[in-house]
Amino acid sequence: MNYIKIRLDDDFDRIGTRIEKTIEDLFRPRPVSPMFACRECGWNPPMDMVETDKEIVIVAEIAGVEKEDLEVEINSKAVRIFGRRKEIPRGPNGKYRLAEIQYGSFERILYLPCPVDTEDVVSNYRNGMLKLRLIKLHLHETHKIPIMDG
């Protein structure tokens, strides 16, 4: 019986990473505006978006990201959350036996189901969770206007 010697080195890992990134890019929705494109984004944090009658609440799980390394931009139609998680040093003689935590830059653009008031946004960051509360604009509501004499 002949044995085949298989050598896994860094080049193989880089090829695998490029293939995974290509597959992710195929299925990840891209923003319309090129100014929002992030060429070096390494991971996508999980997020939830909940809509009620009065507001939209977005929660992002971004444990390990310092508040100083986190930014949020908003317009009436979308929210952009981006930042960077710094890698934890592994020590001088440390070898990874399991490496699942993703580091580096991230960017998520969430398109909102309706317009929001960009001046009335509440955000907080605690225990690795970013929470945004956005007040919905009700553009199609009618308001009764009193008519004055004279």
Higher pLDDT, 31 or 85: 85
CA distances from 126 to 47, 94, 114, 121, 146 (A): 15, 30, 27, 17, 46
**Residue that is written with structure tokens 């085949």 in the block:** 4
pLDDT at 124: 94
C-beta atoms surrounding 59 within 10 Å: 14
pLDDT at 71: 94
For 18-64, the pLDDT digits (tens) are 666 666 665 554 444 333 444 555 889 999 999 999 999 999 999 99
Is the sign of the CA dihedral 6, 11, 14, 16 positive or negative? Answer: negative
Residues contacting 83, CB < 8 A, separation 6+: 62, 65, 69, 70, 71, 105, 106
CATH topology of domain 40-88+101-136: Immunoglobulin-like (2.60.40)
Secondary structure of residue 50 in the 3-state scheme: strand
CB of 45 closer than 8 Å to CB of 108: yes
Q: Identify which of 71, 46, 69, 48 has the alpha carbon closest to the alpha carbon of residue 123.
A: 71
Secondary structure of residue 148 in the 3-state scheme: coil
Which amino acid is residue 18, in one-letter code?
R
Give the predicted TM-score (pTM) of the model: 0.65
pLDDT at 95: 83
